[in-house]
Amino acid sequence: MTTVYDFTVKDRQGNDVSLSQYAGKVLLIVNTATGCGFTPHYEPLEDMYRELRDQGFEILDFPCNQFANQAPGSDDEIHEFCTLKFGTEFPQFTKIDVNGETADPLFAYLATEKPFEGFGKGIKFAALKKFSDMNNKTFGDKAYIKWNFTKFLVSRNGEVIARFEPTVDMEDVKAAVVSAIKEA
């Protein structure tokens, strides 16, 4: 059975990083952007990381520029923005694609394990769906991720246990993380 630990990704310097080094930890894997309406999610993500990392929790940050060009900078520029504006300390990897033929295999796997189920109900959710649909129509059946700040929760054994669209309240994300930490 494939798990998250079977994947290798690139750090900001382009070095291979086997996700097996995170075995036994609860992971929150996120595709991010510095110029998105959801960019303020960095603040509660960093708060959660600081509070829970000593309990075997890691956040893995993967910048992506496939959504309205909201992460145009270099890996170093993105990292500088995140550390200066939000004080982020969790691991940030090289900028990747999450959709289409060039999608990073990790994100194709995550989205296959926990497919998109919608943004929710209401006007703001409908508006995001409209933007998402326009942006992702070029990717067809390889539109794995619908927008920036999609989050995947991974158990200590490498199983993808939840997907959170960017519209999910961060307190709900934190509650799920805490629950996953306690299950160990």
3-state helix, strand, coil in the chain (%, to 5): 40, 20, 40
DSSP for residue 36: S
The radius of gyration computed from the CA coordinates of the chain, to the nearest angstrom, equals: 15
Q: Is 36 a catalytic residue?
A: yes
Catalytic residue among 19, 26, 30, 36: 36
CA–CA distance, 42 with 180 (Å, rounded to integer): 21
Maximum alpha-carbon separation in the chain: 43
Token pair of 44 as six digits:
């509660």
Side chain identity, residue 105: P
The β-bridge relationship of strands 151-154 and 160-164 is antiparallel
Q: Dihedrals φ, ψ of 26, to 5°?
A: -85, 130
**Active-site amino acid positions:** 36
